[in-house]
Amino acid sequence: MSSESEAMSFEAEGMHIDESQRKGVWPLTVIWVSNAFNVSSLMTGAALGAALTLGDSFIAAFVGFGIITAYMVLVAMQAADLGLPTSALSTAALGKTGGRYLISAVVGLALIGWFGVQAAVCGSSFSIALAELTGFEIPVWVSSAVLGGLMLATAAFGFDGVKWVNYIALPMLFLICMYGLVVSVSGTGVDSVFNYVPAEGMGLVAGVNISVGLFALGGATIGDFTRYAKSRRDAVVSSAAGVWPANVFVMMIGAVLAIVVPESGGDITLIMAGLGLAVVGMVALVASTWTVNVSNAYSAGLAFAVMLGKGERGYKAATIVSGVVGIVLAAAGIMEHFTFFLTLLSAMIPALAGSMIADYWLVRKARPENFKPLDGVSVPGIVSFVAGAAVAMVTGGTFAGTALAFLDIPFLLGPVNGIVVSMALYVLIYKAMKLPAFEGPIQLKTPQR
């Protein structure tokens, strides 16, 4: 089937973006900058600040997002070339069946994990604030389950007002954090922040892995947004400028807050309480998390509905199941394993992106006319992803502190190792199987559409 007919097929499914829908740099950049200030970025920054010096926290955040940007822009340019979202882009590297199941499973499971994390943060914050106000203590797992259930109900049955909550909550959270930052630093002194040395450190490499895990999923699925870009340049500039500096800035706010409240151990809810902002912090955290978690539950449900061939018609049941699993994770204490969760994401998702990048840029020479979804499952894509993810986990310290710690073989950076192995293995297997070859050099400029 020709690339034109493939585009028509995807257009019929509502995936393909034509020229009339394309946007410039600024609208796309604003999306990422506006989304950078969120609870997840603050939490990850706080986790770094609790276990690293301020300088190492910055290096971990900067290098981590540099790694994300390196693979993110390649996916972004492919999406701009083809006008297709990540799920459609993956069908050439993984096959239609492989892409459908693998992408849906990875995205769905990651979103369930994030739903659990966010519900746990809200539950912890609510319990702390209630105890401060009334002296009555509710177990965190109960608060997490109740608030998670309300978020899930909003996702499954809808609530038009939830989007307006975010317009108020995010500025409120930003102001609270900036207030806490100024007051705490002025009290402890700038020197104490810069000279802070954690009692128990995690290591710089581990910090980089955690930083990658924060936005690993967003980096791999950025094509869902950059398919609207007018050119490769617009896709690259909007992604890099919108994602990298803004997220590093927010993470550093979280790191500083963790340093000035060292007894928090990097827990954002304990940081708010330590700054004397437990109640107002609870309101901001719950409100700002609500919209995000509604999206997490809905998107997870939709991913599994697509995987099962139900499409949007079956998303409600899948959303409820996904949300319930997330609530169980929250109640079971997923926040105690937050760094493990991020490290796992940093190992798996870049390796998945590596297979897609190798297929489009190295095999198909970055030429849209060579793009062709494959029926069934693509052996090079599946094998390279599994191998790349395994290498990233083993070399990236994913199993540290667990019963599988004996599997850890530290070497360079796990996410980088994973994506390199995935790309190299994809090309080797593709050529070994004598699959269709494409002549000519890699096309470096935006192709004419």
- pLDDT tens track for 76-106: 999 999 998 888 899 999 999 998 899 889 9
Name the band, by pLDDT with cuts 50, 70 and 90, for residue 155: confident
Residue ranges per structural domain of the chain: 11-432
Segment 276-290 shows an average pLDDT of: 89
* Among the listed residues 292, 342, 326, 346, the one whose alpha carbon sits nearest the alpha carbon of residue 120: 326
Distance CA(349)–CA(430), nearest Å, equals: 21
Query: Average pLDDT, whole number, for the chain?
Result: 89
> What pLDDT shows up at residue 14?
52
Q: Which CATH number fits domain 11-432: 1.10.4160.10, 3.30.420.40, 1.10.357.10, 3.40.50.970?
A: 1.10.4160.10
> What pLDDT shows up at residue 427?
98
Q: What residues are paired with 23 via a beta bridge?
A: 229
Name the band, by pLDDT with cuts 50, 70 and 90, for residue 275: confident
Segment 301-322 shows an average pLDDT of: 81
> What pLDDT shows up at residue 312?
57
Name the band, by pLDDT with cuts 50, 70 and 90, for residue 394: very high
> What pLDDT shows up at residue 258?
93
Segment 218-233 shows an average pLDDT of: 92
> What pLDDT shows up at residue 230?
94
Q: Which residues contact 448 (CB under 8 A, 6 or more apart)?
A: none
DSSP per residue, 371-395: --PPSS--HHHHHHHHHHHHHHHHH
| Residue 1 reports pLDDT greater than 70 | no
| Residue 151 reports pLDDT greater than 50 | yes
- Report which listed range, 282-291, 309-318, 361-370, is most confident: 361-370
Digit-coded pLDDT (tens) for 100-149:
899 889 999 999 999 999 999 999 999 999 998 888 889 999 999 999 99
- Between these two residues, 10 and 38, which has the higher pLDDT value? 38
Contact 171, 358 (CB under 8 A): no
Segment 411-430 shows an average pLDDT of: 96
Distance CA(212)–CA(24), nearest Å, equals: 27
Number of H-type helices and E-type strands within the chain: 18, 0
| Residue 65 reports pLDDT greater than 80 | yes
| Residue 50 reports pLDDT greater than 50 | yes
Q: Is 76 exposed, middle or buried (0-12, 13-18, 19+ CB in 10 A)?
A: buried
Contact 361, 335 (CB under 8 A): no
Classify each residue of 411-447 as buried b or exposed e, where b means 16 or more C-beta atoms within 10 Å of its C-beta.
eebbbbbbbbbbbbbbeebbeeeeeeeeeeeebeebe
Crossing angle of helices 96-134 and 204-220, rounded to 10°: 120
Residues in the chain, overall count: 449
CA distances from residue 169 to 166, 220, 260, 280, 304 in whole angstroms, order as listed: 5, 27, 24, 11, 30
